[in-house]
Amino acid sequence: MERATAATITLTVNGVAHSLDIDHRTTLLDALRERLDLTGTKKGCDHGQCGACTVLVEGRRADSCLLLAVAVAGKAVTTIEGIGGAAAGEALHPVQQAFLDHDGYQCGYCTPGQICSAVAVLDEHAAGWPSAVTGDVGAEEIVLDEPEIRERMSGNLCRCGAYVSIVAAVADAAGAQS
């Protein structure tokens, strides 16, 4: 019997369910970019090394180049287009606004991934998750200071070298949220 190399799946992206006949080899990243024309999610390396493809899967950040599309069928995926501001007149998410105000980017190619990561960082912090630089992991409250932000944002490379402004933007958004 010939083995199936494709499947019909339902991909739920930004709250919209898409039925797709999909090659089993297709990554979530390529499904978004090539099949759904959601090109806000970027491909920098295709190997889980740069973070440009960061999306939220069930609210948690993930490198979409490392996920096969068939493996996320039925899960809720949020891309940069679902974070805010994609439609004309729609409000920006505070993290997006902070990136804009602080010039937390240059070429903008790493930016959707940075923003998705930053949104997740704020949630992870709010949930009390420590990081590798957290001094006292048992502390009542972990302060999201600059070293914490740097560490938590280090899965997202920015070759333009916008880190200094990215840290300022995330700190700003964190302040606005708390």
Nearer to ligand FES, 142 or 158 (CB): 158
60 binds ligand FES (CB under 6 A): no
116 binds ligand FES (CB under 6 A): no
64 binds other proteins (CB under 8 A): no
Nearer to other proteins, 19 or 140 (CB): 19
Among 13, 22, 32, 52, binds ligand FES (CB under 6 A): 52
Per DSSP bridges, beta strands 76-78 and 6-13 are parallel
163 binds ligand FES (CB under 6 A): no
CB 118 within 8 A of CB 173: yes
125 binds other proteins (CB under 8 A): no
Q: Where are the alpha helices (DSSP H) in the chain?
A: 28-30, 80-83, 94-102, 111-126, 146-152, 163-177
Per DSSP bridges, beta strands 16-23 and 54-57 are unpaired
